[in-house]
Structures are given as C-alpha cells and as structure tokens.
Amino acid sequence: MTDAAALPGQPRGGVLSGPATARAVNVLAPNPSAMTLDGTNTWILSEPGSDLAVVVDPGPLDDGHLRHVVATAEQAGKRVALTLLTHGHPDHAEGAARFAELTGTNVRALDPALRLGDEGLGAGNVVSIGGLELRVVPTPGHTSDSLCFHLPADQAVLTGDTVLGRGTTVVAHPDGRLGDYLDSLRRLRSLAVDDGVHTVLPGHGPVLEDAQGAVEFYLAHRAHRLAQVETAVENGHHTPAEVVSHVYADVDRSLWPAAELSVRAQLEYLTDHGLI
C-alpha cells in the first residue's frame, strides 16, 4: 500500500465528507464517476462562532444532496447566506439555481450566465460573510471561467477542478486553454510559496496537505505530457485521436474522450509556440 504522504500533494485519508479545516466542511455529492472521482465536493465555509455560512459549488441538480447541504449547515447552527461557483460545469453548478431557491441566496460566479443577483466575481474581489474572508483568484485553463478561493485564515485554497485531490484534471478545449492553465498553476504556486497556503480543498477527491507539492506535480506532469505529444507528432501521429492512442495508451479507454480535449489544447499550445 502506498503511503499517502508519498503521493503528490499528500492527500488526507479517511472519509471525504465532514470537517476539513477550522472553517471548511465538505458534503460529498452522490455523483461518483471516472471523471468526478468520489463525487463533487460541496464546501460549507463559516467563521467559527458565526451563524452565517457560504456554500461553494452546490453540485449536481440532486434535491436530496442540496437539502443535505442545507441541513448540515443548520445542524451546525449556520444559515447559508451566499452561494459561490468555481466554474460552470454541471457537476459543480447545475444545482445552483435550485439551491438558491432552498436558501434564498444569490449565486455569484465569473460567468454572468450562472449568476443569480447583480454581483459577479473577479480578480481582486474579497467575499466577506459573518467575519469569513475569501479572496477570489482567477484560474482560467480548465475552463475560461474557472476560479479558486483563497481562505487565508486556514492557509487553504478551494481549487474546483483546477487541482484535484487525486490524479490530474482536463483542459477542456476549446474553452479551456493550456497556456492559461499553466499560468494559473503558477499563480497557485505563488499562493503556496508567498502566502503560506498549504491546504488544497479540491472540487473532487481528498484534501491535500501540501499545496506546493501538488502544484509542482501538476506543472511537471503538464511539461511531461507536452513533450510526449510533441514527440508523437514528430513520429507521425498528427490527429488528436492518434496522439491519444499513442500517449495515453496506459489510461483507461473510458477516459480517452476527455484526454482528447487535453490533447487538442496541447496541440494548440505547441502550434502557437512554434514547436510543431
């Protein structure tokens, strides 16, 4: 058995649902799959002693899950006062409108199409609820609207799908772009190195205890994949499907359609930089 401390980011073992930091509680959505891992992590955030909470990524449109999130907050003496989205993929955002109905909250997101209420989210924004402070960190790449949320008091960052608790994420081409994604990873590395962030609260998978290690692993993985794709093209594999079958031969075939999105993003990046 592999020691979790030896894995990228030092994933925390044990049950995924429940308290993760002094201010963050996870409610795991019942939507496990090859792409969503154990399911979507819906985060309830609240300052200790406050009766107000923020929910990040209500998850899929599953009424049982959405009500369970509300009940979990209420059992802790909290009222959900605001809903935030890391990005618009359905496994994170599909239930947001229904959740807003259940809680009477606004929904804030980068994409105007996902918002309920007048306020969006963008670079430099600070969300303050009941003494809780969240700093908005734009992290495009997985999607163009991807955001992370820096929780300074817990030295933590909520990463949505930008960094997962297990494995690596997809650059969802054409909306997602690899150059943007690499810049976003470097931005997260800066949070770890310069701002003391050590805990990753991901959109899927376990909590990571070593934010810098996780981001360094992601950057190394992307560099390795880019080199593999470049070599594959040099060896005559020109279409995305051909590159996937060559570079991702050791990956479960059920994940090849997602891998092809990343390959398209990699090919675009290599072309734009004159490398192929």
Return all residues near 243 (Cβ < 8 A) that are at least 6 apart. Answer: 229, 232, 233, 237, 263, 267
* SS3 assignment for 31-54: CCECCCECCEEEEEECCCCCCEEE
| Catalytic option among 38, 62, 91, 180 | 91
CA 16 from chain center: how many Å? 15
Q: For residue 195, indicate whether it is catalytic.
A: no
> Which of 233, 236, 240 lies closest to 257 in space, CA to CA?
240
For residue 115, give Cα distances in angstroms to 61, 76, 79.
Answer: 16, 27, 20
> Which of 168, 142, 26 lies closest to 86 in space, CA to CA?
142
> Looking at the annotation, which residues are catalytic?
91
